[in-house]
Amino acid sequence: MTTLSSPNTPKDSNPDFDVLGDQHVGTSIDTPLRDDAFDLSDDAKIEAIEGKFRDIMEIMGLDLTDDSLSGTPHRVAKMYVKEIFAGLNPENHPNVKTFDNIYGYDHMLVERNINLNSTCEHHFLPIVGVAHVAYIPEGRVVGLSKLNRIVDYYAKRPQVQERLSRQVLTALQNTLGTPNVAVVMDAKHLCVSSRGIQDEGSSTVTASYGGLFESSPEVRAEFLQHIDG
């Protein structure tokens, strides 16, 4: 079994440093966060990241007095905190209200082709694709757009696609009060297409099933037929 080194271990003494990244291996189901992750305000994080990213640009030899580059450190910092990594902050969790299933709808509900935009945690490059989500109600239902919002919330983190699929599944199960949830994601990873193997044509498919979607081949086949249609 592979033993993972501490995050503070220098890369030259960590034989798994490149292996984890190149093999796109995750280390936990939960997003790895320190206990003090939210001690700083968003504004304080933006200010700190701006300075760090300015250092990166200067190390690379870029001229930050150029009008096109001078505002980049602030733009990147704001983008990180307020946009592409906003899902790290639990305060940004969507307000998902459920409703009584007054119509008695007890069949599968499928939301296909939900836009998926995330970021690979190994190289901080984009993950772009679609998510397909389904559930079978057990007394409670949710507005359709909330399915999209839950996917978007968990996608707005440094991610591994397997973890993302599982996090969305678990969140929907808890919200809807039913294990009968399915999540399939199909996405392209720029860390595969733009570096390393540089494979432009491949995509990654992950599937997480709960309840009847896991135990019943017929239910699972119906779901897959819906998303392939």
Task: Tell me the per-residue pLDDT of 174-217, one tens digit each, with 9 for 90 and over.
Answer: 999 999 999 999 999 887 766 667 767 788 999 999 999 999 99
Domain shared by 80 and 40, yes or no: yes
> Is 200 labeled as catalytic in the residue annotation?
no
- Residue of 24, 50, 122, 167 marked catalytic: 122
Q: 78-116: per-residue pLDDT in tens?
A: 999 999 999 999 999 999 999 988 888 889 999 999 999
For residue 68, what pLDDT band results from cuts at 50, 70 and 90? very high
167 is catalytic: no
**Which has the higher per-residue pLDDT, 15 or 215?**
215
The answer to whether residue 191 is catalytic is yes
Sorted by sequence, the CB contacts under 8 Å of residue 190 that are 6+ apart come out as 120, 125, 126, 127, 128
On whether both 138 and 161 belong to a single domain, the answer is: yes
- Which residue type does 113 have? N
Which of the residues 24, 123, 132, 167 is marked catalytic? 123
Least confident span in 20-29, 97-106, 125-134, 202-211: 20-29
User: What would the mean pLDDT of 59-86 be, rounded to a whole number?
Assistant: 98
Q: Is residue 22 packed enough to be buried (19+ CB in 10 Å), middle (13-18) or exposed (0-12)?
A: middle
- Looking at residue 229, what is its pLDDT? 67
In a domain, 192, yes or no: yes
Q: Which residue among 24, 50, 159, 161 is the active-site one?
A: 161
| Confidence bin at 16 (pLDDT 50/70/90) | low
- Residue 63 is part of which domain span? 36-84
Same domain as 110, residue 64? no
Q: Examine residue 118 and state whether it is found in any structural domain, yes or no.
A: yes
Q: Which of 24, 50, 121, 159 is catalytic?
A: 121
Asked if residue 110 lies in contact with residue 134, where contact means CB atoms within 8 angstroms, the answer is: yes
- Catalytic residue flag (residue 122): yes
Domain assignment of residue 47, yes or no = yes
159 belongs to the catalytic site: no
Same domain, 67 and 139: no
Per DSSP, the three-state class of 52 is: helix
Lowest mean pLDDT among 3-12, 48-57, 139-148, 207-216: 3-12
Query: Is 9 within the bounds of a domain?
Result: no
**Does the pLDDT value for residue 154 go beyond 70?**
yes
pLDDT tier at 6 (50, 70, 90 boundaries)?
Answer: very low
CATH number of the domain that residue 181 is part of: 3.30.1130.10
> Could you count the other beta carbons within 10 Å of the beta carbon of residue 108?
17
Active site (annotated) includes residue 161: yes
Q: Rounded to the nearest 5°, which phi and psi values hold at 177?
A: 70, 30
Query: Does the residue 128 lie in any domain?
Result: yes
Cα angle vertex 98, ends 94, 103, to 5°?
145
Mean pLDDT of the region 3-10: 44
Active site residue 121: yes
Active-site position among 120, 132, 159, 167: 120
The whole-chain average pLDDT of the chain stands at: 88
Neighbours of 66 (CB within 10 A): 9
Ramachandran region, residue 40 (left: φ > 0; alpha: ψ -120 to 50; beta: rest): beta
